[in-house]
Amino acid sequence: MPVRWSPLRVSQAMDTVEEHLSNASTPLESAREEALKALEIPNLPQYIESELRSLATNIEWVVQKPRSDIARIRRDLPKHKLAAEQSRGEQQALV
């Protein structure tokens, strides 16, 4: 069955998504570190410790899940069609 959509455009969109994620991941990692640092506050009740750990885990998930989704999308792109589109684009750029 022929591919009627553009794997190259999807790949390029994933490049842009990755760029945005890179910009967002630094502040998110800082937030995660602050949540973990709060665990060092003396005499925290266990329920607050649990919530802080949950917060840190959720922040980590927010950073990692989209990256794994992007990897899965890239893996599922039809490689032969992507390569053909890329080479066609390079040929057009040379003209």
- The answer to whether position 6 is within a domain reads no
For 8-24, how does the pLDDT look when each residue is reduced to its tens digit (9 = 90+)? Answer: 999 999 999 999 999 99
Separation in Å, CA 5 to CA 20, 69, 88 = 24, 19, 15
Residue 47 CB coordination number (10 Å): 8
- The answer to whether position 74 is within a domain reads yes
- The answer to whether position 59 is within a domain reads yes
- The answer to whether position 24 is within a domain reads no
CA distance 12 to 20: 13
- The answer to whether position 18 is within a domain reads no
Which domain does 76 fall in, by range?
45-95
- The answer to whether position 86 is within a domain reads yes
- The answer to whether position 36 is within a domain reads no
Average pLDDT over residues 40-54: 98
Please check whether residue 78 is in contact with residue 3, taking contact to mean a CB–CB distance below 8 angstroms: yes
Residue 59: name the closest of 22, 32, 33 by CA. 32
pLDDT grade for 90, boundaries at 50, 70 and 90: low
- The answer to whether position 67 is within a domain reads yes
Total domains in the fold of the chain: 1
- Decide: pTM greater than 0.85: no
- Say what the pLDDT of residue 91 is: 57
Q: Is the pLDDT of residue 86 over 60?
A: yes
